[in-house]
Structure 1
Amino acid sequence: MSIRFCLALAGLAISAPALAQEGSAPPPPPEAPSDPRADFVIAGAGAVVLPDFEGSSDYGFTAAPGAIGQVDGFRFLLAGNRFSVDLIRDGYGPTWDVQAGPIAVVNFNRINNDAISDPRVALLAERSLALEVGGYVGIGKTGVLTSDYDRLSATLSYRHDVTGVHKSGIWAPTLAYTTPLSTKALVGIFVSAEIVGDGYGQTYFSVTPAEAAVSGLPAYQADGGFKNWTLGSAFAHSLTGDLTGGLQLVAGGTYRKLVGDFGDSPIVAIAGSRDQWLGAVGLAYSF
C-alpha cells in the first residue's frame, strides 16, 4: 500500500465533514517514502447536510467540492469553502511531517435570509459574505498505533476577516487521527475548537434593539471567546481497486457544541440549538 495515497485519501476523508463549515478539520498531508514530492491529485464532490445558519436547529442540503494533492512538493487542500497550502517541502524522513502555510475560508453565514427557515432569524439583518485569511502550523506522525500507515496530527490555525464584515480573528486548534482498516477502507476521527474575537460574536450572535423590535427575539450583546468544540469522524472505501488509486466513497459527520455567549444567544437558545450536526457523503477519484 502506498503511504502517499493512503494519507492523501485520509486527508480528503477528514475534510469531508468540513465541507461548507469553516475551521472543522486540519489539512493532513500525504507522504511517500520513495518520492515524497511526486505530483498527484485526489478530487471529488459530495452532498452535505448542514444547519441553515450557525446555531440553527433547521437543516438543508448543499453540494460542495473537495480535493487534496501535491504540486512540485507543495501540498494543498480544498474542502468546500476552505483552501490551504503547506509551504514546507518534506524531506525523506518516513514518519514526521512539519506543516505551515496560508489558509483561506469563505464565510457564508446568514448571507441569505431566504434560506433560513426560522421566521424570527429570517427577519434579522442579512450579513455580507466574509473572507477570512490567515495561516496554520502543524506537526504529524505516521506509524503511531495500529500500523505503519496510521497518522496522528495536530494543527493550529489563525485567520482574520479581510472584508470588514466581522473584523475579527478566529483561532482553531485541531487534533486528528486516521488509520486504514484494510487496503480498501480507512477511518478517521478529529476534535477541534474555535476561539473568536468580539466582532465575530457581535456580527453573528448579537441581536440589536432594532432587530429585536422586528423579530420578537430579545436584544442581546455577544462578546468574543471560546465559541465551540467539535468532534468528527470520517470514512473512505475504495469502489475500484484499492486505496492507492481509483474511485473512492468518502463520508463523514461532525457534532459541534456552541458554548458561552454564543450558546446563550437568543438566535441559538431560543430560535436554534446549541447542538449542531453536519454530515457529508461523496465520491473522490485519485489520479
Structure 2
Amino acid sequence: MNRSTNRRLLATFAAATTLAFAAPAFAQEGAAAAAPDATVGKVTGDSLTIGAAGVYIPDYEGSNDYRFAPAPIVLAKWHGFGLQILGNRASVDLIPDRGQWNFEAGPIGVINFNRSDPDAIKDIRVARLRERGNAFELGGYLGVSKTGVITSPYDTLSLSVSYRHDLTRAHDSGIWQPSISYVTPLSRKLAVGINAQAQHVERGYANAYFNIGPIQSAASGLPQYSTDGGWKSYTVAAFVTHSLTGDLLHGFKIVAGGGYTRLLGGFARSPIVTVAGTPNQWLGAVGVAYTF
C-alpha cells in the first residue's frame, strides 16, 4: 500500500468519523459540536463520496430519551482542497495537501436544532420550556495532521481547534472545540479510529439551553436555575468503515460509529439534566456511502 493510496483510504474513513460525532448534534448544538473539525486522512487526487446514515441521538442536549434521525454524507476533494457536508455541518479545507505533514484551515457552518421542535421532545417538562429557534453558527478551524506516527507508515494523527458563533441570536454566543483523532487502515477494505474532544461555551449558550427563569419554571414545573459559560462537555468515540465491494477507495462501504458524551460542571447540574434527563449521553450512527 503506497502513501498516496493510504491517504485516499483514510479520507473515505473521515465520513464515518465525522458523521458519528455529528449524531448528538441533531438534537443538541449542531454537528460541528461533536465532530472533529480537521479532516481525518487526506486524499491525493480528486474524489467524491456521497451517502446517508441513520443516527441515534438524545431528544435534546442532556436528555435521557432517544430517537433516530437521517443524515447526509458528502465528501469532496479537488486539487487538494476539501469539502465536507455531514448532517447539519459543512466545512471547507482551504489548504492543499502537501505530504506527510498537512495543515488544515477553513470555514465551518452549523445549523443548531437543539430544542427548536418541542414535538420531538418526549419529556413534557422540557417541551414546555421556551422554544428555541434554529441557530446558524459560523466560524473556522485550524488543524494539523501527520501520517505514519504509531502503528505503521499509514496511520494518521490529527489535532484541531475550532471556534464558531451564533449569527441568528438563538443563543448569540460562541463555542470553542479542541479535538484529537487517530485513524489507521487495517487493509484496503477496513479502517478503524478513535477521537476525543471537548467543548467550551460562552454564557449565552448556557442561558439559552440550560438556565431556567421564573416564567419557564412555572410553565414546566422544573426549578429555577442559572449557570455561566465554561467547559460544557467532553466526548470520546470509536469508528469503523468496511468496503462492500472490495476497496474503500471506490464503490460502496458501510460506515459506523458510537461514542459517549459527558456534561460537566454547572451544565450537568441543570434541572433539564438532573431532574428530566442525565449528564451521560450516548450516540451512534450507521450508514452506507459510495466513493467515485
User: Normalised by the shorter chain, which TM-score bucket?
Assistant: over 0.9
Q: How many residues align?
A: 281
- Superposition pairs of residues 152-171 of structure 1, within 5 angstroms: 152-171=157-176
Q: Secondary structure at the match of 1:207?
A: coil
Q: Secondary structure at the match of 2:268?
A: helix
Conserved 8 A contact 1:6-1:149: no
Name the residue aligned to 2:58. 51
Are 1:201 and 2:212 counterparts?
no
Distance 1:81 1:125 in 2: 23
Of stretches 105-114 and 2-11 in structure 1, the one that deviates more from structure 2 is 2-11
User: CA offsets, 1:19-40, max 9 Å, x none?
Assistant: 34232222325435xxx3x221
Q: 1:89 aligns with which of 90, 96, 99?
A: 96
Q: 2:10 aligns with which of 3, 7, 11?
A: 7
Are 1:64 and 2:71 counterparts?
yes
For structure 2, the 5+ residue unaligned runs are 26-30
Name the residue aligned to 2:28. none
User: CA offsets, 1:227-277, max 9 Å, x none?
Assistant: 000001110000002122110000001100001111000001110000001
For structure 1, the 5+ residue unaligned runs are none
Conserved 8 A contact 2:10-2:191: no
Are 1:31 and 2:36 counterparts?
no
User: CA offsets, 1:115-147, max 9 Å, x none?
Assistant: 100011011111000000000000000111112
| 1:75 Cα deviation from its structure 2 partner | 0.6
Name the residue aligned to 1:18. 21
Q: Secondary structure at the match of 1:158?
A: strand
Q: Secondary structure at the match of 1:19?
A: helix
User: CA offsets, 1:28-85, max 9 Å, x none?
Assistant: 25435xxx3x221111110111000000000001100112221233111122111110
User: CA offsets, 1:176-222, max 9 Å, x none?
Assistant: 00011222111110000000000000000011111111111000112
Distance 1:133 1:238 in 2: 34
Conserved 8 A contact 1:8-1:42: no
Distance 1:162 1:154 in 2: 26
Are 1:123 and 2:133 counterparts?
no
Conserved 8 A contact 1:201-1:222: yes
Name the residue aligned to 2:189. 184
| TM-score, L = length of structure 1 | 0.95
Conserved 8 A contact 2:40-2:183: no
Q: 1:40 aligns with which of 44, 47, 62?
A: 47
| 1:163 Cα deviation from its structure 2 partner | 0.7
Distance 1:54 1:176 in 2: 23
Of stretches 183-192 and 68-77 in structure 1, the one that deviates more from structure 2 is 68-77
Distance 1:5 1:189 in 2: 18
| 1:104 Cα deviation from its structure 2 partner | 0.8
| 1:5 Cα deviation from its structure 2 partner | 2.1
Name the residue aligned to 1:220. 225
Inter-CA distance 112–31: structure 2 relative to 1 (3 Å threshold): closer
Name the residue aligned to 1:151. 156
Identity among equivalent pairs (%)? 50
Distance 2:75 2:271 in 1: 38
CA RMSD of aligned residues (A): 1.2
Letter in 2 for 1:25: A
